[in-house]
Chain A
Amino acid sequence: MIVLMIVAAVGPLAGTVAAACGARGRLAGWVASAGALISLVCAVGLLTAELHRAPLRGWAGYLYLDSLSCFFLLTVATVTLLASVGSVAYLSAEQDAGRLSAFQVRLYYIFFGLFAALMLAALETGNLGLLFVLVEASTLASAALVGLEARASSLEAAWKYVIISSFGVTIALAGTLFLYYSASGLHLAVEYRLAWPYLFSHAHALAPGSLRLAFMLAAVGYGTKVGLAPMHTWLPDAHAEAPSPASAMLSAALLNTGMYAIIRFLAITHARLGDTFPRAVLLTFGFLSIVIGVLFMIRRGNFKRLFAYSSVEHMGIIAVALGFGGLLGLYGALLQTLNHAIAKAVLFLTSGDVALRYKTREAAGVSGLLAAVPVTGGALLLGSFAVLGSPPFGVFLSELTIVRAGFATSSPVFPLLLLALLAVAFVAFARTTTGMVTGQAPADDPVGSPYGGRAVRLAAAAPLGVGLVALLVLGLWIPAGLDTVIRHCVAVMS
């Protein structure tokens, strides 16, 4: 079992090793995809095994795996696989067009694998100090991806990303420190005082004052990684300037890893301090994020920035769901995490395809996608409806659960406000994407295929199809295994 855990985290490093050893772009990409597939298979294996047994511990609490870890491992591994396959297509097209050098492509695969491996490892540790170390390290690895194209705007985005995220995660370290202080009344051996399972089981004996401060600092600090407003300012730039498969990883995997850290702190705080304080903190940040995400979605501009603000909005929705709490709230939050991750990955991969063909990232420069490139246009249309929460896709179910949770656990003002904001978001987002998808194909194109070879074309289209099918399946039917896992997670946290 421990072997499975290690392989799951180390899988994506196959691509890193291949690129570092000098493999050319396309080969490194296929190796990276194979590694990601192995990770996903291990993650599914761990998930099914965890359903029937107690949490897995190892190395004095440094390795820890329970249902919550397995669920997030599944989400991140899925996104890694989709993004790896998409990388093959995107990067080889960029290299063929001469916009990226061979060295840059190798650098991409080296840091991509490192980034994915660090995130997966962060999900498998039970030591909150080590969690900080791995989250910060994944920030540094992904900064190289953001700044890869080395334009002035990419470097600016990478600088903002690295400095704001590092500052935020350092604040989270201060929060971890205060958590450690609050545990000093317990007579635990040193290395267990930062281990989540021990802290959670002894939560009743933690000092409330420093625990409150610890949760605030962790919410602000890891909230910077998640993209909660007002700490979100790095997000639109970084997600817009990175190469599209890297944006998919940033939006769908990294944000979820930050949310995982917040959930760990939330579980301890909830066990000791009850509902009121965590709810106030999370609802505040959540609604602020939704409002800011929606407001900035209204302007028409760069479509990747649109998707980035949509991520801010969705992370706000997840925070609001965690704030609502209870069975419905936690269930909705976890389901929304999975659905949003797949939908956002699909959207960013389509944006990569659009940018390659139309050679612009401005929404105003793109029209007639359905007519010119049916596969991409269809994926963009369906993907945007999916991410906005229309049935029959999965996000509808999770948002419905969250709204029900709101009515069940707090005053009706909040869920009604949430519904109103979701309606505005729908109009704002769909206005831009339907403008891109409908209309005449541009007369002076050729929007010819930028991909060389059938395998690469398949690599471009396959993740889109798989992702949309998965969203459809999740919207119509939640597999029994998944349902059990999420219920386990909720039981873990309450």
Chain B
Amino acid sequence: MQSLSATSAAGVLLDLSGVLILLLSFACLGSKLFNRYLAYYGAQSVVLSFAAGVAAYAFGSVELWILAVATLAIKGIGIPVSARRLLIQRLELKRDAALSTGLSTSLIAGGALTAFAYLVTRPQLLPHGLVAAAVVPLSTAVILLGGLSMVVRRHTVAQLIGWLIVENGVFLGAITLVATFPFIVEAGIFLDLVAGVLIMVVFVSGLTRRLASASAGDLRELQG
């Protein structure tokens, strides 16, 4: 597998993108307004598509260019815009994105998970000479932070965005470290993502009609 040197321009840009994506995950975790939450997710996807573009340029891979553009179009622009329209206009959602725990507790938990990610993915795990090795703990941390978002957020759409953050983390790992991941698999993952979002939106609309709200906190009928 080809690898980039860690000090080359591409390597530095990938590291920086990784850090920015992590910071935006924290921003998502800590945002109280739905507008901000969606905007940070959109920004994170834009940075991710930029990183994919850098990797595509460095490895000269057409497939990665296609994925970069698709990420920008669907995750960076499409999902935040349509989610805003769905939430604000059709579901008339309140602006406040409720959390199950307090804001500071979530952020502390997020910090703990990031530290855990660094502990678990030590550099010896990876073959030598691998570029942007800093990205592995970063993408693991983003996965864990996305999971935390899914757990603490009260609204079903917020949980859905949390899942999309997890997917961003996996995608970050895939494009920077294994830039030559088979294209059909990447395309399949993308299709799964789009289909998943569509199906989940259907359920959210259904839940809103039935329960007059799509807050996961109200989903208490099935227990035990």
Q: Which positions in A face B, CB cutoff 8 Å? A: 62, 127, 129-130, 132-134, 136-137, 140, 143-144, 147, 150-153, 155-160, 162-163, 166-167, 170-171, 173-174, 177-178, 180-181, 184-185, 190-191, 194, 207, 209-210, 213, 236-237, 240-241, 296, 299, 301, 305
**A162-B196 contact, Cβ under 8 Å, with A152-B210, A153-B222:** yes
What's the minimum C-beta distance from A136 to chain B, rounded to whole angstroms?
Answer: 5
Q: Collect the chain B residues with CB atoms within 8 Å of residue A301's CB.
A: 224
Which one of A130, A159, A207 contacts B188 once the chains associate, using CB atoms below 8 Å? A130
- Using A156-B219, A163-B160, A236-B224 as known contacts, list a sample of 17 further A-B pairs with CB atoms less than 8 Å apart, ordered by residue number in A: A127-B185, A133-B189, A133-B191, A136-B196, A137-B195, A159-B207, A159-B219, A160-B222, A162-B199, A171-B143, A177-B170, A180-B178, A184-B130, A190-B180, A190-B182, A194-B182, A240-B222
Q: Rank and list the top 3 A-B pairs by shortest CB-CB distance, nearest first.
A: A129-B185, A133-B188, A209-B125
B-side binding surface: helix, strand, loop or mixed? helix
Considering the chains assembled together, what is the distance between the CA atoms of A210 and B133 in angstroms? 14
Which one of A163, A174, A296 contacts B163 once the chains associate, using CB atoms below 8 Å? A163
Do A140 and B199 have beta carbons less than 8 Å apart?
yes
Q: Collect the chain B residues with CB atoms within 8 Å of residue A133's CB.
A: 185, 188-189, 191-192
> C-beta contact mask, B60-88 vs A, less than 8 Å → 1, else 0?
00000000000000000000000000000
What's the minimum C-beta distance from B127 to chain A, rounded to whole angstroms?
Answer: 5
What's the minimum C-beta distance from B187 to chain A, rounded to whole angstroms?
Answer: 9
Considering the chains assembled together, what is the distance between the CA atoms of A207 and B139 in angstroms? 20
Residue B104 interfacial (CB < 8 Å):
no
Considering the chains assembled together, what is the distance between the CA atoms of A213 and B139 in angstroms? 15
Residue B12 interfacial (CB < 8 Å):
no
Q: Collect the chain A residues with CB atoms within 8 Å of residue B178's CB.
A: 177, 180-181, 184
**A147-B163 contact, Cβ under 8 Å, with A156-B219, A177-B178, A299-B224:** no
> C-beta contact mask, B123-144 vs A, less than 8 Å → 1, else 0?
0111100100000000010010
**A158-B203 contact, Cβ under 8 Å, with A152-B221, A167-B163:** yes
Considering the chains assembled together, what is the distance between the CA atoms of A127 and B127 in angstroms? 22
What's the minimum C-beta distance from B2 to chain A, rounded to whole angstroms?
Answer: 11
Do A207 and B127 have beta carbons less than 8 Å apart?
yes
Q: Collect the chain B residues with CB atoms within 8 Å of residue A236's CB.
A: 222, 224
Considering the chains assembled together, what is the distance between the CA atoms of A160 and B221 in angstroms? 12
What's the minimum C-beta distance from A40 to chain B, rounded to whole angstroms?
Answer: 27
Do B120 and A213 have beta carbons less than 8 Å apart?
yes
**Interface size range of chain B in the complex:** 35 or more
Do B203 and A162 have beta carbons less than 8 Å apart?
yes
Considering the chains assembled together, what is the distance between the CA atoms of A236 and B223 in angstroms? 9
Do A143 and B189 have beta carbons less than 8 Å apart?
no
Q: Collect the chain B residues with CB atoms within 8 Å of residue A180's CB.
A: 178, 181
Considering the chains assembled together, what is the distance between the CA atoms of A167 and B188 in angstroms? 16
Considering the chains assembled together, what is the distance between the CA atoms of A484 and B53 in angstroms? 52
Considering the chains assembled together, what is the distance between the CA atoms of A51 and B184 in angstroms? 31
What's the minimum C-beta distance from A119 to chain B, rounded to whole angstroms?
Answer: 15
Q: Which positions in B face A, CB cutoff 8 Å? A: 1, 120-122, 124-127, 130, 140, 143, 147, 150, 156, 159-160, 163, 166-167, 169-170, 173-174, 177-178, 180-182, 184-185, 188-189, 191-192, 195-196, 199-200, 203-204, 206-207, 210-211, 216, 219, 221-222, 224
Considering the chains assembled together, what is the distance between the CA atoms of A153 and B218 in angstroms? 11
Do A296 and B224 have beta carbons less than 8 Å apart?
yes
Do A147 and B126 have beta carbons less than 8 Å apart?
no
Considering the chains assembled together, what is the distance between the CA atoms of A12 and B48 in angstroms? 39
Considering the chains assembled together, what is the distance between the CA atoms of A213 and B120 in angstroms? 9
What's the minimum C-beta distance from B160 to chain A, rounded to whole angstroms?
Answer: 7
Do A155 and B147 have beta carbons less than 8 Å apart?
no
Do B196 and A177 have beta carbons less than 8 Å apart?
no
Q: Collect the chain B residues with CB atoms within 8 Å of residue A194's CB.
A: 182, 185
Do A155 and B195 have beta carbons less than 8 Å apart?
no
Q: Collect the chain A residues with CB atoms within 8 Å of residue B169's CB.
A: 174
Do A181 and B177 have beta carbons less than 8 Å apart?
yes
Considering the chains assembled together, what is the distance between the CA atoms of A157 and B167 in angstroms? 23
Do B203 and A159 have beta carbons less than 8 Å apart?
yes
Considering the chains assembled together, what is the distance between the CA atoms of A163 and B163 in angstroms? 8
Which one of B170, B207, B216, B222 contacts A173 once the chains associate, using CB atoms below 8 Å? B170
Considering the chains assembled together, what is the distance between the CA atoms of A158 and B169 in angstroms? 25
Considering the chains assembled together, what is the distance between the CA atoms of A156 and B218 in angstroms? 10
Considering the chains assembled together, what is the distance between the CA atoms of A476 and B98 in angstroms? 58
Q: Collect the chain A residues with CB atoms within 8 Å of residue B184's CB.
A: 62, 129-130
What's the minimum C-beta distance from A478 to chain B, rounded to whole angstroms?
Answer: 38
Do A191 and B182 have beta carbons less than 8 Å apart?
yes
Do A237 and B173 have beta carbons less than 8 Å apart?
no
Would you mind naming 23 contact pairs between A and B with Cβ atoms under 8 Å apart? A127-B182, A129-B184, A130-B185, A130-B188, A136-B196, A144-B199, A152-B210, A155-B206, A159-B203, A167-B147, A171-B143, A174-B143, A177-B173, A181-B127, A184-B127, A190-B180, A194-B185, A207-B126, A210-B126, A213-B120, A213-B125, A236-B224, A296-B224
Do B199 and A143 have beta carbons less than 8 Å apart?
yes
